[in-house]
Amino acid sequence: MNKVYITKYWRISRLLKEYPISAEVLIENEIPCTGCDGASAERLGEGLATHGLNESEIESIINEINQEIQVSERKSLQSKIQEFSNLPVDVKESGAKIGGIFITKSAIDSFKQFNEQNQIVVIRLEAGGCSGYNYEYNFKDAMLEDEVLFEIDGLKVAFSIFTMENAKELMIDFKLSLKDSGFKFENKRAKKSCSCGKSMSI
């Protein structure tokens, strides 16, 4: 099933700015909206209609644009996965470093302790939380297509591409105290973070 990135209600200027590859589809279909200043302010459906296209033809071109965007996004994703997969895992007594991510020994040992079924520890930075983005971790048997797998002393850990891209100085730790216990995610590059130890803004 193809993912819907754009609709006929998108303004042509926004379309060309966010997805430049859409210009190729329009040109191939002999729609010269890409070079017309006046047309760029129009909505895509309106612009296509002014060229005499009916609803079926408009829907066909929009589907074609969405397909090309999806192909482009997948190529970009595969390239990023390859790039991050090549990062070395530097294991030391204090923990392990992967690119801009440092996982303390305490966190590694705790992940192993809680991972009773020897699953993959999946860590993702998702929209939500009290500061805009929230670090989440789960134990899973399989990964999503946007996740990169690493192994640290027998522990399998996967990060989403978005997490890797926004983890220039991320430290993952586990703290055990009467006041506050659990996994803590500290990103020194965060614009703002929360005392909960999981939420941040980027």
pLDDT at residue number 191: 59
> pLDDT of 120-175, one tens digit each?
999 999 887 655 788 999 999 999 999 999 999 999 999 999 999 988 889 999 99
CA distance 87 to 129: 29
Lowest mean pLDDT segment, chosen from 114-123, 160-169, 182-191: 182-191
pTM here? 0.74
pLDDT at residue number 69: 95
pLDDT at residue number 176: 83
What are the structural domains, with CATH classification, of the chain? 12-84 (1.10.3910), 87-201 (2.60.300.12)
Mean pLDDT, all residues of the chain = 88
pLDDT reading at 62 higher than 90: yes
Measuring CA to CA, which residue among 142, 140, 137 is closest to residue 117? 140
pLDDT at residue number 179: 73
CB-neighbour burial class of residue 200 (10 A; exposed 0-12, middle 13-18, buried 19+)? buried
DSSP code per residue over 129-165:
SSSSEEEEEEEESS--TTEEEEEETTEEEEEEHHHHH
Q: ∠138-128-178 over CA atoms, to 5°?
A: 60
> pLDDT of 2-61, one tens digit each?
789 999 999 998 999 999 999 999 999 988 766 666 666 789 999 899 889 999 999 999
